[in-house]
Structure 1
Amino acid sequence: MIRYALAIAAIVAPSALPAQATGDLAAVQRHLQSITTMTADFTQTDRNGKVLTGTFTLKKPGKLRFQYEKGVPILIVAEGGALTFIDYSVRQVQRWPIKNSPLGILLDPGRDITRYARVVQTGNDRVVSVEANDPKHPEIGRITMIFARDAAAPAGLALQGWVQLDSQNNRTTIRLANQRFGGAVSDGTFKWVDPRRANTR
C-alpha cells in the first residue's frame, strides 16, 4: 500500500493536517538529522513519463550519487557543496550550488525545515508527506518528501522518495526501495571522471 503513496502525494492538493502535523514535522527533522549514510534502489519518472532506474547513495555531510542503470550515460553527484550533472553521451558537465537545489534539504543536517516546510495530507496514516519550499527563493523549486512510519528506521521514519517540482513546473518523481541506513560508504563513491578529459567513467 505504501508504494502507492508517492503517486497520491504527486497529485493531491496540499492540505495541512489539523492534528499530529507538528509532531510529524519534528520527526522528519530528527530523521534527516540522524541519517549518516543511506543507500537504496531508485526509480525515476520525469514529466513525460520516462522511467529510469539505478542506485542512490547518500553520505552526510553534503554527498549523494545517482548511479543510473547500465546503458544510461548520465550521472548525478553532489560533493564539495556542488550538485554536478554529467552527461557522458555529449561530454557535458553542469554544476550548481547544492543549496540552490531542493535536494539540499537531504544533505544539510543543520537546516531547520520547520521554517519552510509543512505536513500535507496523503489519506494514509502510515505515510507522512512533507512539502518544502523557500518563498523567498522560488527559483529553487519545491520538494515533497514521502516517509513511511517504520519503528526500525531513524526517528521512526523511512524515506520512500520524493516529488521535485522546479521553477518551470517540471515534475520529477523518485521512488526508493531496499533502503539501508548507517552502512559504511567510502568517500570514493562520489568521485567521477570528467568526460571532457576522458571517454569513460
Structure 2
Amino acid sequence: MALARNLMIATFAAALSLAPAAHAAKTDASQFSIEQIAAIDQVSAYLNTITTLTGDFVQTAPDGGVTQGRFFIEKPGRLRFEYAPPAQLQIVSDGLWVAVQDKKLKTTEKYPLVTTPLRMILSDNVDLMRDAKILAVFPETDLVTLSIEETTGEAPGTLTLMFDTAENKLTRWTVTDVQGLDTSVSLENTVAGEPIDPSKFRIIEHRILDVGGSNAR
C-alpha cells in the first residue's frame, strides 16, 4: 500500500498547484524554433480553454501495474481522481490542499497545493513559456510532446505532456521521478465544459497524517 501511495503522490499531488514558485527556472525561448514555440503556445491556449473536464483515466505504474477510474477537473485547482476497485485510494484537491486518501485505512495525507510542480496546468492563466522550464518539444503532424523540468516541491522530476493536435486535447502525461521511474496517466472519453457537482472536490477528512505542513488529528 505504501508503494501505491507513493505512485499517487508522484503522479497527482504534482498536478494541482495554483501559484508559481518564485525561484522556478524559466524557459530560454532562443533554444526553440518558430515551429516549436508555436506548438508550446498551442498547448498553452488549449489549457486556457478548459473550465471543467471529466472522463476516464488509465494509470500505468513503473512496474507495469495498471489502475483506472474516473476523473473530474474544475479550474482553478480542483480535481478528483476516483480509482475503480480493488484500489482503495482517491485523490481530491479542493483548491487549497491536495488529499491522498486511503478509504480502507481511513487516512488522509494532505499537501499544500503551492508545493506541487504542475501549478501552471490548472491555473486560469497558463503560459508554459513563462511559467515552466521546458526541456524539449517535438511537434509532429498530429501530436506535440512537451517535457517540463521540475526541481521543487513534493515530487521533483520531469513532466511530459502529450497533446493531440488533430483533436485539440491533452491525452497523456508522464511523471519521471528522480530515480528515472515513469508513471503515466492516459485520459480517455473526455468531456469539456459540463458542470460538476461541487461535492466532488470536498475533502472528507479521516485521520490526518502530518505531511507537507498539515497537522495530525
**Aligned partner (choices 189, 199, 206) of residue 195 of structure 1:** 206
- TM-score, with length taken from structure 2: 0.72
Distance 1:84 1:138 in 2: 13
- Equivalent pair of 2:151/2:157 in contact (CA under 8 Å): no
**What's the CA shift for 1:106?**
2.2
Alignment-derived partner of residue 61 in structure 2? 46
- Equivalent pair of 2:116/2:153 in contact (CA under 8 Å): no
Alignment-derived partner of residue 186 in structure 1? 197
Matched, 1:20 2:31: no
Tell me: CA distance 1:119–1:100, structure 2 relative to 1, closer, same or farther (3 Å): same
**What's the CA shift for 1:56?**
1.2
Gaps of 5+ in 2: 1-30, 209-217
Matched, 1:117 2:134: yes
- TM-score, with length taken from structure 1: 0.77
Alignment-derived partner of residue 169 in structure 2? 158
Distance 1:104 1:138 in 2: 12
Letter paired with 1:128 = V
Gaps of 5+ in 1: 1-15, 152-156
Alignment-derived partner of residue 142 in structure 1? 158
| Aligned residues with identical type, % of pairs | 26
**What's the CA shift for 1:170?**
3.4
**What's the CA shift for 1:139?**
5.3
**What's the CA shift for 1:131?**
1.3
Deviation string for 1:7-27 (max 9, x for gaps)?
xxxxxxxxx874511101011
Tell me: CA distance 1:88–1:135, structure 2 relative to 1, closer, same or farther (3 Å): closer
Alignment-derived partner of residue 89 in structure 1? 104
Q: How many residues align?
A: 176
Deviates more, 1:64-73 or 1:43-52: 64-73
- Equivalent pair of 2:73/2:79 in contact (CA under 8 Å): yes
- Equivalent pair of 2:117/2:150 in contact (CA under 8 Å): no
Paired residue secondary structure (1:105): coil
Alignment-derived partner of residue 173 in structure 1? 184
Paired residue secondary structure (1:33): helix
Tell me: CA distance 1:165–1:102, structure 2 relative to 1, closer, same or farther (3 Å): farther
Deviates more, 1:21-30 or 1:159-168: 159-168
Distance 1:33 1:71 in 2: 35
Letter paired with 1:148 = D
**Aligned partner (choices 140, 143, 146) of residue 127 of structure 1:** 143
Distance 2:66 2:193 in 1: 28
Distance 1:21 1:90 in 2: 47
Tell me: CA distance 1:119–1:126, structure 2 relative to 1, closer, same or farther (3 Å): farther
